[in-house]
């Protein structure tokens, strides 16, 4: 079956520091990988979408300078939150697409102190 | 861009009751998915349902594309059904999902 792993599941970082999170698709090759954030009391917002053979597209309010993404192959992606502050806390989900269905990992929950 | 409206915002059910959750889209959609979010936060895909009706156990999803809406019916609710249900529309093969705000379902005994 199609599975998506995310690491770490939970992390705490000091304000102003950076942290990297990883996403691994297992059992399939993802045609695209999307990163979402769910801030407290909010729904999911798309941060960026990385599609095979295309540049990574960031949504409004999210930039490569703040959330650099690496997508070296069809099954792995990583995203870094640079200079994390309180407003960056939340649940970060990775969604890997295969045949029109998006499979999600369990998320990385980021706490910022 | 696409906007997704879900209703109701929250719902409390007596165990055994049925419920219907609604999802409306502002623009035409290529396909849509229903998700269940556990209290811990992880997201589970419940239905990929671009059109028509699909059933899985006690859950039934009906999507009417030309009316830009989808519904999720829960029959004979159980306490374990408690959580947040989100609908989202997809942009075809691009993989971009636009999420609704979710419906928080609480089933009590």
Is there a contact between A100 and B31 if contact means CB atoms under 8 Å apart? yes
Residue B20 has what pLDDT?
A: 98
In chain B, which residues have pLDDT < 50? none
Nearest Cα of chain B lies from the Cα of A96 at a distance, in angstroms, of: 8
In the three-class reduction of DSSP (H, G, I as helix; E, B as strand; rest coil), residue A18 is classed as coil
Q: Produce one character per residue of B77-106: b if its CB has 16 or more CB atoms within 10 Å, e if not.
A: beeebbbbbbbbbbeeebbbbbbbbbbbbe
The DSSP output letter for A88 is G
Closest CA to B100 of A88, A6, A38, A105: A38
pLDDT digits 0-9 by tens, A78-107: 999 999 999 999 999 999 988 777 788 889
Residue B76 CB: number of other CB atoms within 10 A?
11
- The rounded distance, in Å, linking the Cα atoms of A29 and B92 is 17
What average pLDDT does the structure give for chain A? 91
Taking the C-alpha atoms of residue A91 and residue B101, their distance in angstroms, rounded to an integer, is 15
Which residues on chain B are in Cβ contact (under 8 Å) with A107?
41-43
Strand-pair partners of B10: B104
């Amino acid at each position: 079956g199609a599975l998506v792993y995310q690491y770490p599941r939970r992390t705490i970082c000091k304000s102003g520091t950076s942290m990297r999170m990883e996403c691994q698709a297992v059992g399939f090759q993802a045609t695209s990988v999307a990163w979402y954030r769910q801030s407290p009391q909010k729904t999911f917002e798309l941060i960026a979408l990385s599609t095979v053979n295309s540049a990574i597209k960031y949504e409004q309010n999210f930039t490569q300078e703040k959330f650099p993404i690496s997508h070296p192959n069809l099954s792995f992606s990583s995203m870094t939150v640079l200079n994390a502050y309180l407003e960056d806390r939340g649940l970060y989900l990775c969604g890997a697409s295969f045949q029109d269905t998006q499979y999600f990992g369990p998320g990385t929950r980021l706490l910022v102190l | 861009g696409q906007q997704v409206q879900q209703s109701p915002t929250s719902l409390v059910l007596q165990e055994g009751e049925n419920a219907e959750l609604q999802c409306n889209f502002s623009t035409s959609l290529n396909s849509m998915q229903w998700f269940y979010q556990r209290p811990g936060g992880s997201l589970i895909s419940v239905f990929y349902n671009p059109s028509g009706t699909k059933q899985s156990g006690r859950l039934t999803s009906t999507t009417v594309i030309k009316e830009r809406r989808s519904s999720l019916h829960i029959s004979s609710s159980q306490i374990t059904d408690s959580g947040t249900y989100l609908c989202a529309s997809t942009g075809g093969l691009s993989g971009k999902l636009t999420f609704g705000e979710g419906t928080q379902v609480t089933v009590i005994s």
